[in-house]
Structure formats: structure tokens, C-alpha cells
């Protein structure tokens, strides 16, 4: 059979992304790249972009009469448009509209599998799947087509194992179920010639090659081998022709192409004050903290580092309790916090990561001593999956990499929302709660890169706090190995995002003018300030220098 890579444009509908995929060689010349649509707007775009007659187009999702007619028009234009039946109610509409347009449809049926590929998207497959037909419903479709003398139109069998499947065993199990559906339907006389295995091919965001939900424990080659081997073995066992294969691996096709680059606007580090000496009359917790600090500075202390750490935590808890009950002044609390921070720094420098008993404490101290790095972006606009499903993306500074990694930080965005932060970071072969950073250089502020953001983030991003789309450019490596920058697109202006929420900029300007007219300010001042507001409406939604 033949193989076609079909790109579901829901993953990233940006025109430049879709066009680049359609032009990819050698698949483009061989006609091995197709498109998938899941809505009427997506199908309208796909019909225009499909590059040649005979291009494969898959129509998924819920369908009304208009959607079905659009798909049949694509078939009339010479494309191979498979209309996948997701609900039984769609089949009579397909047959009726095909008859009216005098077009022979290519009908597919989506079977609902029992197999679940574990992960963040496991309910996109299995019995809880939103889409697909049960075994009895699939048989009903076959019988309906047989009675309508249209069984020859049933050309495709579609499955969806899940998205971002991390474990190859889940894929193997699901494919065996897929293969059984195919051979059984062929034996019933359905002339299905194509099997669409849907999505599921993972992307290793972590680089750990593991069964974590943001990783995958297999290679692309291993995935392809399993797909072909399982279907081939089942077909050969039953004497069934090998089908053509389609996959819809949108994440794997687009995740790697995009990176968000932005600047650090500020940072907040724990105090580096000198450790104070409490007054003799100071409350006991302050003296306890000072004694713990002295023990850390004294190499001859009989107490273990873990014991000292626990004592420091206990003393600081007493500080908070006594302050809440009015037994500690604000000044004394500030002294206690300084002593506590000094203890934590000394502890972290003396603990050994090779000692298993120390590792958990080191992780806790890294969190306590981490800087807050305020970065000029909106998590909800540019990395919504971090907030929504705890997705992990590779993050690192793209400058200062010739300096030693001397500090750790937690990234915060510029929205007025405490959820606007990143809590998990790829670090070596594992996941940490803080990000290692090079030592500070005030003359060269850090520029941060957020990598592998090409799948879903662009289209799922929202305008929390009315932060809009960022500026974007296309970067290509030319034949000489140099970079070409093109297709620079300006990000959203303030006026544009305000229109999304039904604020007309012209009306806002009129309101400003009225307020200035009654403000009592001098004419020259009014004109200057009004011009500043007018310019603000045309400005960028993110911070500018």
C-alpha cells in the first residue's frame, strides 16, 4: 500500500505553516501529503490550499448539510475527499447531497476503540471518546450502505488512539484492535482500501525518552515499524489486501518549528543581607535561627545537615506563629527572615547531590532560594498548555551561555494572574521546579527562548489581560548555511485587541476628548496628553523599551 501524511490543520492553522508542509519534499512531488479539516472554516481553507488534483483531504468532526456539500464540491474538483462518518445521522445527509450534486462520495467510518493511550489526552480515544461509532453502529453503517447499493463508497476506516501517546505498548495494543476492525469489515464485503490511524505519535518535549506524558519511549522509526508490521501480519493471516495508510500526526509535524523569544524585564532575588545578631531579649526563635547558622559555619558541629535544616524550618514556623499572635515585632520578623535565608544558602552550598538523603532537601532549597524572573510574555497567550494541562516545554536563555550557571529561577509572565508562571523545567535528564541560569550581567539582560511551541499554542492562546498576538518572523537556513529572515508580521495593537471585546477605538478617543474638554487642563497640555493616548491605542500590547 501507499502512505500519505495528512496534516490536521487544527494543530496550527497559520497559512505559512500549512503551505510549508505542503511544499515539503519528497512528499510533495510524490503526492504523499494531505490535509485534514474538522470544521467548515478549516475545510474552506483546505480546499483552497490543496495543491493538486488527487490531493487527499480528510473531513472529520461534526457535519451539517453545508459542511457535507463543501466536501463533495472538493470531490468534484478532483480531490480525494474522504468524508468520515462520526455519527450515524451524518450518513443519510452524505448520500442525499452526493445524489443531488451527482458526485460519488468517498465515505469513511470512524470506529471507537476500547484501547486507551495513557496521557493528558487519553479520553480522545477509548470508550469515552467524543467521536466514533461502536462496533454495532459500524455494522449498521455497512448495512445501510449495502441497502442503498452504495457499499462501494465505503473506502476508509479511521481510528484515533489518542494524542501524544508516550508508551509504545499502548500503540501496539491499539493497532491490533485497529487491524481486527479492518479485516472483519473486508470480510463483510466492505471495499475499504485505506486505513487512517489518526494521531498519537508523540513528541519528546522533555528529552527523557520516557513514558512521561510530555515524552515518548520510542522513535519515529519504531512507531512506523509497529504500524506497518501489525497491519501487515493481520492482513496476511486472513488473506486480506494490504491497505493504503494515512496518519494524522500533526503535533509531530509542527511542534519543533516554532520558538518564542522574548526579554527579561525584571528579576526578584532573595535578600543578600548580612546575618544579624539578635538582641539578648529577642524571642527564642531568633536565637534558634542564629544558633543554626553558627552551626553551619562551624565545620565541627555534631548535628547533621538534615537535622539542622529541620530545626531551621521549625524555628521559622515559630516565628510566623508568634508574629501572628503579636509576640514578635515586624523588625524581629525581618531579622528572622534574613537569618533563615542565610541558613538556606549555607545549607545548599554544603549539601551533596550525590547523597540520596540530601536530594529532596536540595530541591526544596532550590525552590526557596529561586529568583523570580519576570519575562515579557503572556503564558495564557503563548504557552496556554502550560497553564491548562501542565505541559512541559524546553526553556533556556539564548544569551549568556558562556557564563557559569550560578543561580536558579522561576519564570513569571506579565499578566495580573498568579497562574502566569512556569512550575516545571527540563534540566539535564530530568524535570526540576527551577531553571538554572548564568550569573547576572547588568550590561547584557537575558533573552529567553521557549522551544517546540509549534503545535496548538498559537491557536489555543487567549487574550487574558488583553495581551494579544506577538510579533512573528519566518527564519530559514539558505543553501550557504546562513539565516534568511522574512514574513515579518506585527503583533496585535491595543486597538485591535480592544475591538475583540467590542471597544471601538474611535469611541474611546471621543470619550477621551470629552473628558479633556471638561478637565480644566491647559490647551497645550490637553493636546499633548490626548496625542499620547491616541498613540497608545496603536501601540504594542506587550512592554516596550
Q: What is the mean pLDDT of residues 283-304?
A: 88
Burial class (CB in 10 A: 0-12, 13-18, 19+), 39: middle
What confidence score (pLDDT) does residue 440 get? 83
Grid cell for residue 396: 533556556
What confidence score (pLDDT) does residue 269 get? 87
For residue range 262-284, list pLDDT tens digits in order.
999 999 988 888 888 999 989 99
Q: What does the alpha-carbon distance between residue 540 and residue 330 come to, in Å, rounded to a whole number?
A: 42
What confidence score (pLDDT) does residue 119 get? 55
In the predicted structure, residue 422 carries a pLDDT above the cut 80: yes
Average model confidence (pLDDT) across the chain? 92
What confidence score (pLDDT) does residue 22 get? 94
| Structural domains present in the chain | 3-257 (3.20.20.10), 284-365 (1.20.58.930), 370-489 (2.40.37.10), 494-537 (no CATH)
For residue range 392-417, list pLDDT tens digits in order.
999 999 999 999 998 999 999 999 99
What confidence score (pLDDT) does residue 155 get? 97
pLDDT band at 508 (very low <50, low <70, confident <90, very high): very high
What confidence score (pLDDT) does residue 51 get? 84
In the predicted structure, residue 523 carries a pLDDT above the cut 80: yes
Tell me whether strands 80-85 and 106-110 are parallel, antiparallel or unpaired.
parallel
Please tell me the least confidently modeled range out of 8-12, 91-95, 265-269.
265-269
In the predicted structure, residue 149 carries a pLDDT above the cut 90: yes
For residue range 231-257, list pLDDT tens digits in order.
999 999 999 999 999 999 999 999 999
Bridge partners, residue 405, by sequence: 438
DSSP 367-423: HHHPEEEEESS-HHHH-HHHHHH-----EEESS-TTS-EEEEEEEE-SSS-TT-B--
What confidence score (pLDDT) does residue 299 get? 72
In the predicted structure, residue 130 carries a pLDDT above the cut 90: no
In the predicted structure, residue 478 carries a pLDDT above the cut 90: no
pLDDT band at 52 (very low <50, low <70, confident <90, very high): confident
Please tell me the least confidently modeled range out of 128-142, 312-326, 339-353.
128-142
DSSP 313-367: HHHHHHHHHHHHTTSS-HHHHHHHHHHHHHHHHHHHHH--TTSHHHHHHHHHHHH
pLDDT band at 286 (very low <50, low <70, confident <90, very high): very high
Please give the helix or strand (H or E) that residue 517 lies within, else none: helix 505-517
Amino acid at each position: 500500500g501507499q502512505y500519505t501524511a495528512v496534516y490536521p490543520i487544527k494543530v496550527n492553522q497559520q497559512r505559512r505553516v500549512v503551505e510549508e508542509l505542503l511544499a515539503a519534499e519528497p512528499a510533495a512531488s510524490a503526492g504523499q501529503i494531505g490535509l485534514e479539516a474538522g470544521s467548515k472554516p478549516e475545510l474552506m481553507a483546505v480546499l483552497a490550499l490543496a495543491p493538486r488534483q488527487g490531493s487527499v483531504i480528510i473531513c472529520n468532526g461534526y457535519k451539517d448539510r453545508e459542511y457535507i456539500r463543501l466536501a463533495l464540491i472538493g470531490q468534484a474538483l478532483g480531490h480525494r475527499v474522504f468524508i468520515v462518518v462520526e455519527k450515524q445521522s451524518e450518513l443519510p445527509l452524505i448520500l442525499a447531497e452526493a445524489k443531488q450534486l451527482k458526485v460519488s462520495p468517498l465515505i469513511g467510518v470512524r470506529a471507537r476503540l476500547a484501547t486507551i493511550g495513557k496521557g493528558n489526552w487519553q479520553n480522545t480515544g477509548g470508550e469515552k471518546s467524543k467521536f466514533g461509532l461502536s462496533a454495532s453502529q459500524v455494522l449498521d453503517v455497512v448495512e445501510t450502505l449495502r441497502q442503498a447499493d452504495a457499499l462501494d463508497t465505503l473506502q476508509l476506516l479511521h481510528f484515533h488512539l489518542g494524542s501524544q501517546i508516550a508508551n509504545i505498548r499502548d500503540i501496539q495494543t491499539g493497532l491490533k484492535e485497529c487491524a481486527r476492525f479492518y479485516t472483519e469489515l473486508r470480510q463483510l464485503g466492505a471495499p475499504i482500501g485505506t486505513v487512517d490511524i489518526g494521531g498519537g505519535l508523540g513528541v519528546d518535549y522533555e528529552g527523557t525518552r520516557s513514558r512521561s506524558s510530555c515524552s515518548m519511549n520510542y522513535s519515529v522509526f519504531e512507531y512506523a515499524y509497529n504500524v506497518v508490521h501489525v497491519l501487515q501480519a493481520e492482513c496476511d493471516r486472513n488473506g486480506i489486501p494490504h491497505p493504503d495508510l494515512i496518519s494524522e500526526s500533526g503535533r509531530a509535524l509542527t511542534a519543533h518549528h516554532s520558538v518564542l523569544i522574548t526579554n527579561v524585564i525584571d528579576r526578584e532575588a532573595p535578600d543578600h543581607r548580612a546575618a544579624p545578631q539578635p538582641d539578648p531579649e529577642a524571642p527564642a526563635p531568633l536565637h534558634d535561627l542564629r544558633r543554626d547558622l553558627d552551626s553551619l559555619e562551624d565545620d565541627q558541629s555534631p548535628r547533621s545537615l538534615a537535622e539542622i535544616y529541620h530545626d531551621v524550618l521549625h524555628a521559622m514556623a515559630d516565628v510566623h506563629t508568634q508574629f501572628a499572635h503579636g509576640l514578635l515585632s515586624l523588625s524581629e520578623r525581618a531579622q528572622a527572615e534574613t537569618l533563615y535565608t542565610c541558613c538556606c544558602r549555607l545549607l545548599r552550598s554544603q549539601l551533596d547531590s550525590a547523597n540520596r538523603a540530601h536530594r529532596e532537601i536540595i530541591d526544596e532549597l532550590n525552590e526557596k532560594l529561586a529568583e523570580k524572573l519576570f519575562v515579557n510574555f503572556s503564558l495564557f497567550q503563548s504557552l496556554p498548555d502550560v497553564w491548562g494541562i501542565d505541559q512541559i516545554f524546553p526553556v533556556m536563555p539564548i544569551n549568556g551561555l558562556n557564563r557559569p550557571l550560578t543561580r536558579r529561577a522561576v519564570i513569571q509572565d506579565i499578566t495580573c494572574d498568579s497562574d502566569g508562571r512556569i512550575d516545571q523545567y527540563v534540566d539535564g535528564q530530568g524535570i526540576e521546579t527551577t531553571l538554572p541560569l548564568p550569573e547576572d550581567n547588568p550590561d547584557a539582560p537575558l533573552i529567553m527562548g521557549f522551544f517546540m511551541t509549534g503545535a496548538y499554542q498559537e491557536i489555543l492562546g487567549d487574550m487574558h489581560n488583553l495581551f494579544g498576538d506577538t510579533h512573528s518572523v519566518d527564519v530559514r537556513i539558505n543553501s550557504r548555511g546562513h539565516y534568511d529572515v522574512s514574513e515579518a508580521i506585527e503583533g496585535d495593537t491595543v486597538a485591535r485587541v480592544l475591538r475583540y471585546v467590542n471597544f471601538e477605538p474611535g469611541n474611546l478617543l471621543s470619550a477621551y476628548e470629552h473628558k479633556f474638554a471638561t478637565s480644566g487642563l491647559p490647551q497645550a497640555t490637553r493636546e499633548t496628553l490626548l496625542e499620547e493616548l491616541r498613540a497608545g491605542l496603536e501601540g504594542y500590547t506587550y512592554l516596550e523599551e
